[in-house]
Amino acid sequence: MAKGGASVTRREALDDKIVLAVLDAIERDPAVTQRSVALKLGVALGLVNAYVKRCIRKGFVKVRQVPPRRYAYFLTPHGISEKSRLTATYLTSSFAFFRRSRLECSELFLFAAGRGQRRFALIGGGDLSEIAGLAAREHSVEIAGVVSSHSATDGLRAGVLALGVVDAVMVTSLQNPRETFVAAVAAFGPERVYAPALLGIQPVVTAQVGERS
């Protein structure tokens, strides 16, 4: 039940993020193309097209055909209100994410430092790895570098070893964190792998790894 609820929440957050990006792009430039929005978001053109149609259906956006064979998009008053609501929600959730991430990373670094683990590799770039870097400074923990998340044990091991001597690793990937965690434990052992609780993976995966060993 909880797992399904978390999945729904992440999906809704992604929906809101794409809708906000579409509304923002249209407000900035009525002549914006769906292709340029897709490139900016790093998603498929078809997905952007689906969201634009949804915004039109919900009355957030109006569309007019302009020559030659092009379209101009405009936010309706309802669309402007929705954009304001989504922006406020995003800022609030972003602050909550930052606060929780920094606290959980700090707790893990403090625990690891007590075990003599002070040189870390972060697995997975992005917001969480940047927050982990900030938290590391508070506990005299050195970040050796950030490597790409990888579900293949050998590839992950090679990326971390290229950074030199590393005491432990922390999973900071928001994309496929479970698979990355399993690969990291297989590569370095459970005592050297950490993951913030907000990723929702460590207790379950650690048990699975233990059962297989």
Question: Is 118 within a domain?
Answer: yes
What domain range includes position 118?
99-212
Q: To the nearest whole number, what is the mean pLDDT of the chain? A: 85
- Dig out the tokens for 104 from the structure: 């959980």
Question: Is 122 within a domain?
Answer: yes
pLDDT at 9: 61
pLDDT < 50: residue spans in the chain: 1-3, 7-8, 203-213
| In contact, 5 and 17? CB cutoff 8 Å | no
Domain co-membership, 135 together with 207: yes
Question: Is 8 within a domain?
Answer: yes
pLDDT at 54: 94
pLDDT at 10: 63
pLDDT at 68: 67
The candidate with the shortest Cα–Cα distance to 16, out of 42, 45, 54, 67, is 54
Domain co-membership, 26 together with 71: yes
| Three-state SS sequence of 100-113 | HHHHHHHHHHHHHH
Domain co-membership, 125 together with 65: no
Domain co-membership, 198 together with 129: yes
Predicted confidence (pLDDT) per residue in 101-143, tens digit:
999 999 999 999 999 999 999 998 888 999 999 999 989 899 9
Question: Is 56 within a domain?
Answer: yes
The total number of structural domains that make up the chain:
2
Q: How far apart are CA 123 and CA 11, in angstroms?
A: 23
Question: Is 81 within a domain?
Answer: no
Question: Is 49 within a domain?
Answer: yes
Looking at residue 207, which CATH number applies to its domain? 3.40.50.2300
Domain co-membership, 199 together with 108: yes
Looking at residue 15, which CATH number applies to its domain? 1.10.10.10
Question: Is 92 within a domain?
Answer: no
Q: How many CB atoms within 10 Å of residue 39?
A: 12
Q: How far apart are CA 143 and CA 171, in angstroms?
A: 13
Domain co-membership, 114 together with 204: yes
pLDDT at 178: 85
pLDDT at 112: 96
pLDDT at 213: 40
